[in-house]
Each structure stands twice: as structure tokens, then as C-alpha cells.
Amino acid sequence: MIYGRVALIGLGLIASSMFWAIKRGGLAGEVTGYARSAETRAIAREIGLCDRVCDSAEEACEEADLVVLCVPVGVMGAVAAQIAPVLKPGATVSDVGSVKREVIRAVAPHLPPNVHFVPAHPLAGTEHSGPRSGFAELFDNRFCLIVPQEGTDRAAVEQLAAFWQGMGAQTEEMDADHHDLVLAVTSHARHLIAYTMVGVADDLRRVTDSEVIKFSAAGFRDFTRIAASDPTMWRDVFLNNKDATLEILGRFTEELFALQRAIRTGDGQHLHDYFTRTRAIRRGIIEAGQDTDAPDFGRVKKG
């Protein structure tokens, strides 16, 4: 057991996966939970998500040794302000937001000095959301990036790292700005590209809907899967990671123009060199154990 009582605020994909992973690993004495709607709280009670589902965020946080904010990035600050008065002295407050600089800016000012604020971000997800979408294996062998603030108590940081490791993740520490840039490349821009591709296919009336569905091999289906991700979450990610995303999209556009030009001018060498370089990156990811060559990338399909 790593924490006596853990409070999960927000009961969607990430919080529900955390709960099942906490139970699997025996990492907490009691897990309390809260979500904003009565409907989500009722579902949580029905499926046994959390040892105790509370009707207010404050009640869920009382006496908690660890509070994890699992709500969309845009409401983290408001939730922190709401729970601040009831936080137990010496408790750790963390979050799972996909953006770090803006979350820290929104949350930190509300927290009393006698709690430890240790932001984090598990690099794991699916396109599903809500309390029923979680599963214990979500974080297995995935990274959880921990973003400690200057002067944060080391013991609190290490305890949180041990907690994520107990849920199956590998942990690494990173600075907030660097985190936001890395994620803009690896995740945020990818979502924008998928949204655009699916939007283009939809606009292209010469290709019928049934053809898109019938002939979409794994590649395009993967775009549609990504583009089905939660609209609130992704709106908040782009609004809160504006600079890094715009920086990456600028570079992306330049590369796209270069490829467009190579196609127009018949520069096969450019295309071949480019694709050779990108193939080597894929090999590096497999060698680093972050993916596999197995069909469907070896992932277990859920729900």
C-alpha cells in the first residue's frame, strides 16, 4: 500500500483505469471518487468504481493522502479552488492533464502551502471516455511523466512515482515546457491531423460514406478512431497548449509543402530519403519497447 486514502476527482477513462489499476496493485487503503454529474456518480456506484462515491468534491478529498484531478484541462483550476479548503495538511495533490504549463498556472495558486503539488501525465489513452471505459491494464508499460515544481518535497515526488509504477507505468521526470513541446509532437498534432483527414474524407463528396467505411483499411480507420476522441478534452488541450502546438504545426506545414513539391516535380529521391528516415524512427520505437510489430500494434481492443 502506497497511500492510505486516494481521491479521484472526475471519473472518466483515466480515473476509472486508475481505480482498477490501484485495486490490482493493492496501492491504496480506500479510494474515494467524485464526478460532476449525478448520472456518472450513479454509474460509478453501479459498477463498483471507487470504494466510496461522494456527492461533492470536498467530501471526496477529506482526509485524502493523495488527490488526483482527472477532469478536463480547462476546469482544473476551478476544481482546485473548490477543494483547497478541505485538503489534509501534508497531502499530495496531482493531476493527469495532457498539458502541464497551463494546468500548473491554473492550479498552483489555489493550493495551501502545506500540501505537495506534483503534476503528472500518463501517456496512455483510448478514444473512449466516461466511467465505463477504464481498464486496469491501460498504463502497463506506458510512460507517466512527472513534472515536479521547484522546491517540491522529494519524498512526495518519489511516492507518486512509486504509485504510478504500481499501476504498471514507467515514470520519468520532465520540465513543464519541455513536456508540452514533446506532447505537441507526439500526441497533440497527431490528433489535429486525424481530425483534418477525417474531415477531408467527409467533405470529399465524390467518395461516398459507404466507400469510406468499406475500403478503409487499418490506416484510415486509425484516423477515424483518433478523431472520435472526446471533443471537450481535445478542445481544452489545444486551447491550453497553444504555443507548442502552433510551433509544431508550423514545422509540419513546411514539411508537407516540401513533400507536395517533391510529388509535383517528380523528385522521387526526396520522397524515398524522407520515408527511409521515418522508417528508422519507427524501428527505434519498437526497439525501445514502446510498440510492437504485431497486428493492430499488439494492443488489446477494449469496448
Per CB under 6 A, residues contacting ligand NAP are 9-15, 35-37, 40, 70-73, 75, 79, 96-98, 121-122, 125, 129-130, 230, 233, 237
CB of 179 to ligand NAP, least distance (A): 12
Nearer to ligand NAP, 5 or 179 (CB): 179
CB of 68 to ligand NAP, least distance (A): 10
Other CB atoms within 10 Å distance of the CB of residue 47 = 12
What distance in Å separates the CA atoms of residue 264 and residue 275, rounded to the nearest whole number? 17
Going 74 to 150 to 176 to 5, the CA torsion angle's sign is negative
Which 3 state secondary structure label does DSSP give 205?
Answer: coil
CB of 232 to ligand NAP, least distance (A): 6
Question: What are the phi and psi torsion angles at 237 (to 5°)?
Answer: -60, -50
Contact yes or no for 302/135 (Cβ under 8 A): yes
Write down how long the chain is.
303
Nearer to ligand NAP, 178 or 270 (CB): 178
What distance in Å separates the CA atoms of residue 263 and residue 248, rounded to the nearest whole number? 22
Nearer to ligand NAP, 2 or 144 (CB): 144
Which 3 state secondary structure label does DSSP give 116?
Answer: strand
CB of 69 to ligand NAP, least distance (A): 8
Nearer to ligand NAP, 156 or 233 (CB): 233
Nearer to ligand NAP, 208 or 290 (CB): 290
Residue type at 164?
W
CB of 297 to ligand NAP, least distance (A): 15
